[in-house]
């Protein structure tokens, strides 16, 4: 079997697929690309059994075949070649031979039979949406996925199709993000949970272009131009998160996002590495933000202007979580809706946008003193 391909064309193709190749795996076959040549097209796939990537180019080949080729070695070789024609050839000795004008590269390869099947998600449920919208939804919510495997559903991002649009929800039990995109109307009420690694890879693949999404019970497939990204879903029930969102938080603090965020970044230098606690002492026109590192005998306190309607309150938060939330609120001014120092706090942008709704929830921590 033989075929020819331009080095830069192949490099572009492989660079799209390589993100699915796992860095470490107990299954060595996953460290390969699957090359499938069929009727004049070369399709390249990779998978880590959770996510898969697939794309094709046209090539002139003399027969149909499948090959499994070491992914990183091949990608690095192709990437390091100048713009040149590459001649692929399989020989009887289970090596693939690549020839260019000046060089010959022989690469050992494994049997294509061992390569896992890439799921084909058929089109029963098809949605079109803008890549920019999808990317924004992911970037707005992904930070709050749980890192702990105890409750698998919470390690992923919930996509919840509701009447008003498409909701993206993440929570790790300490904070929660709910982002609603009202542009995406689908007349369905369904929930899908996408694993963390899929979210992270997908976010880097997205661009301005329109995306086609195909949904099944076990997998989602995203068609991004000529690239197909498939991920298995987390087959668990997402926690009933709506019940933890308080409705009666009537103490309202409005504050400049950047003022508070830059203060929080300084507080992170002081909040002791174990407690990571920052204290908000909220008054009518200002909030005192303070942190202390008892082990090193250092502490900090800053006064920030705010508008507060409610009883004066002292409330503690995890500094890193406040930092995450303020970094994702996406508005110059932010509202904290408080109930009491032990109840969940709601954080929202002051300016509401027409086609989206963002709600952030943060659990307080018990104050040291």
d(CA 94, CA 226): 31
Q: Which of 263, 277, 318, 319 binds its own copies (CB under 8 A)?
A: 263
Helix H or strand E segment including 205:
helix 196-205
Q: Angle between the 7-17 and 71-80 helix axes, to the nearest 10 degrees?
A: 140
Q: How far is the CB of 302 from its own copies (least distance, A)?
A: 4
> Could you say whether residue 299 binds its own copies (CB under 8 A)?
yes
Q: Which CB sits closer to its own copies, 26 or 297?
A: 297
d(CA 53, CA 355): 31
CB-based contact 231:277 (threshold 8 Å): no
Residue 19 phi/psi, 5° resolution? -60, -20
Q: Which CB sits closer to its own copies, 179 or 317?
A: 317
> Could you say whether residue 297 binds its own copies (CB under 8 A)?
yes
Which residues, at least 6 apart from 135, have a Cβ–Cβ distance to it below 8 Å?
A: 203, 206, 207
Q: Which CB sits closer to its own copies, 160 or 292?
A: 292
- Counting residues that bind its own copies (by CB under 8 A) gives 31
Which residues, at least 6 apart from 352, have a Cβ–Cβ distance to it below 8 Å?
A: none
Q: Which CB sits closer to its own copies, 201 or 264?
A: 264
> Could you say whether residue 77 binds its own copies (CB under 8 A)?
yes
3-state SS assignment for residue 76: helix
| Residue 139 backbone zone (phi > 0: left; psi -120 to 50: alpha; other: beta) | alpha
Q: Which of 76, 91, 164, 190 binds its own copies (CB under 8 A)?
A: 76
3-state SS assignment for residue 113: helix
Task: Pick out residues in 87-146 that bind its own copies (CB under 8 A).
Answer: 94-95, 102-108
Rg of the chain over all Cα atoms, to the nearest angstrom: 26
Q: Which CB sits closer to its own copies, 56 or 333?
A: 333
> Could you say whether residue 28 binds its own copies (CB under 8 A)?
no
Q: Which of 111, 298, 355, 368 binds its own copies (CB under 8 A)?
A: 298
Binding mask 210-249 for its own copies (x = CB under 8 A): ----------------------------------------
d(CA 360, CA 177): 5
Q: How far is the CB of 341 from its own copies (least distance, A)?
A: 23
Q: Which of 80, 92, 243, 274 binds its own copies (CB under 8 A)?
A: 80
Residue range at the interface with its own copies (CB under 8 A); choices 163-171, 188-196, 218-226, 302-310: 302-310
Q: Which of 191, 281, 303, 331 binds its own copies (CB under 8 A)?
A: 303
CA angle 40, 46, 48 (to 5 degrees): 160
> Could you say whether residue 314 binds its own copies (CB under 8 A)?
no
d(CA 333, CA 175): 20
Provide the binding-site residues for its own copies, judged by CB under 8 A.
Answer: 70, 73, 76-77, 80-82, 94-95, 102-108, 262-263, 265-266, 269-270, 296-304
């Amino acid at each position: 079997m033989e075929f020819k391909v331009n080095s830069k064309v192949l490099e572009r193709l492989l660079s799209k697929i390589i993100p699915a190749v796992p860095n470490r795996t107990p299954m060595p076959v996953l460290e390969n690309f699957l090359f499938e040549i069929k009727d004049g097209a070369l399709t390249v796939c990779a998978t880590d059994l959770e996510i898969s990537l697939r794309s094709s180019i046209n090539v002139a080949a003399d027969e149909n075949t499948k090959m499994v080729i070491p992914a990183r070695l091949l990608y690095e070789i192709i990437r390091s070649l100048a713009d040149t024609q590459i001649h692929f050839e399989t020989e009887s000795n289970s090596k693939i031979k690549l020839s260019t004008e000046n060089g010959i590269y022989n690469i050992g390869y494994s049997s294509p039979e061992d390569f896992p099947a890439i799921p084909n998600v058929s089109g029963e449920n098809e949605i079109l949406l803008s890549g920019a919208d999808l990317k924004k939804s992911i970037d707005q919510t992904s930070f709050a996925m749980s890192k702990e495997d105890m409750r698998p559903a919470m390690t992923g991002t919930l996509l919840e199709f509701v009447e008003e649009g498409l909701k993206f929800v993440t929570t790790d039990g300490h904070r929660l993000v709910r982002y609603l995109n009202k542009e995406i109307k689908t007349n369905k009420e369904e929930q899908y949970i996408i694993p963390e690694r899929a979210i992270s890879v997908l976010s880097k693949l997205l661009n301005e272009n329109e995306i086609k999404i195909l949904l099944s019970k076990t997998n989602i497939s995203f068609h991004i131009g000529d690239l197909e990204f498939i991920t298995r879903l987390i087959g668990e029930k997402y926690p009933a998160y709506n019940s933890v969102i308080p409705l009666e938080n009537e103490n309202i603090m409005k504050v400049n996002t950047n003022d508070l965020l830059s203060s929080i970044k300084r507080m992170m230098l002081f909040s002791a590495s174990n407690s990571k606690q920052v204290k908000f002492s909220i008054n009518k026109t200002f909030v005192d933000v303070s942190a202390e590192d008892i082990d090193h005998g250092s502490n900090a306190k800053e006064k920030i202007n705010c508008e507060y309607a409610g009883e004066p309150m002292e409330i503690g938060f995890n500094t890193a979580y406040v930092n995450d939330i303020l970094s994702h609120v996406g508005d110059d001014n932010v509202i904290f809706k408080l109930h009491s120092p032990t109840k969940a706090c709601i954080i929202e942008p002051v300016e509401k946008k027409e086609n989206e709704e963002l709600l952030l929830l943060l659990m307080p921590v018990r104050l040291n003193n």
